[in-house]
Amino acid sequence: METETRVRRATSGAFEWPEFEAMFEERLAAEDFSDATVLDLGTGEGRLALALAPLAGRVVGLDADQESLAAARDRARELGISNVTFVPADADAANYRLLTRSRIDYVVANHFMSEAVIGATAKALRPGGRFLFACHHRDQWIESGRVGRFSFTEDAMRDLLTRAGLTVIFLGVETFTVSYAGLAEIEEAHPELAAKFRADGRWATLTERFGDGPAELTWSTLVGVAQR
């Protein structure tokens, strides 16, 4: 199994947030999606599904949120992409094969992950089919003092994939430690995240830690490729 760790520092403002993590993009670019049926879990507004559709036979984007799916369908129409469909479902409970009504060559997931999803993916992929994902690593926002429920270490993810019957081809971690002039700059750069942190108490932890001074946030993504 290949493993890789990349750690970089960046300064907010001077840092251009990528559409997808470079390590994930590289893994996607190494696959041949032509004629493939691809299922994008937690597709949201279809960012990944729409990026892959021109390369693939057919893409199905799945999400629990109807509003996001409607935005994804609008975007597909705007782009003139017709080989993608967006379906509402709970990825933790759905039978992916019934949902796509075909064999599945690839399951992909960008910043959406759970233990249930790994099990359902292992059942749904055709033999030889691949699961490519980017999800929160345990170090994501470590400064906020809390580990996210859906964040994973390399070891925990390797165990989950293997126990589900998948062969791990690649696991890597891409980490950016971003420095900010202060908490106000975090709030300005990531208003939704700041609101979430305020609601769940993590903002208080950051305030205790950084006060009025400069602040830092770690953005750490676990990237993986596994094969049925």
Residue 107: count of CB within 10 angstroms of its CB: 29
Minimum CB distance to ligand SAM, residue 203 (Å): 20
Minimum CB distance to ligand SAM, residue 226 (Å): 18
Pairing mode, strands 58-63 and 84-88 = parallel
Shorter beta-carbon distance to ligand SAM: residue 179 or 218: 218
Interacting residues with ligand SAM (CB under 6 A):
42-44, 47-48, 62-65, 68, 90-92, 110-112
Give the whole-angstrom CA distance, residue 199 versus residue 7: 29
Shorter beta-carbon distance to ligand SAM: residue 181 or 193: 193
Half-sphere exposure in the Cβ direction for 123 (13 Å, CA): 14
Minimum CB distance to ligand SAM, residue 111 (Å): 4
Minimum CB distance to ligand SAM, residue 121 (Å): 13
Give the whole-angstrom CA distance, residue 107 versus residue 132: 6
Q: Which helix (H) or strand (E) holds 132?
A: strand 125-137
Minimum CB distance to ligand SAM, residue 176 (Å): 17
Shorter beta-carbon distance to ligand SAM: residue 91 or 183: 91
Minimum CB distance to ligand SAM, residue 113 (Å): 9
Shorter beta-carbon distance to ligand SAM: residue 138 or 179: 138
Residues 6+ apart with CB under 8 A from 133: 24, 108, 109, 110, 113, 223, 224
Q: Which residue, judged by CB position, is nearest to ligand SAM in the bound state?
A: 44
Cα separations in angstroms, 77 against 34, 39, 81, 99 = 21, 19, 6, 22
> How distant is the alpha carbon of residue 128 from its chain centre?
22
Give the whole-angstrom CA distance, residue 10 versus residue 93: 38
Minimum CB distance to ligand SAM, residue 214 (Å): 27
Shorter beta-carbon distance to ligand SAM: residue 111 or 158: 111
Shorter beta-carbon distance to ligand SAM: residue 48 or 215: 48
Shorter beta-carbon distance to ligand SAM: residue 73 or 209: 73
Residues 6+ apart with CB under 8 A from 113: 42, 133, 135, 136, 150, 152
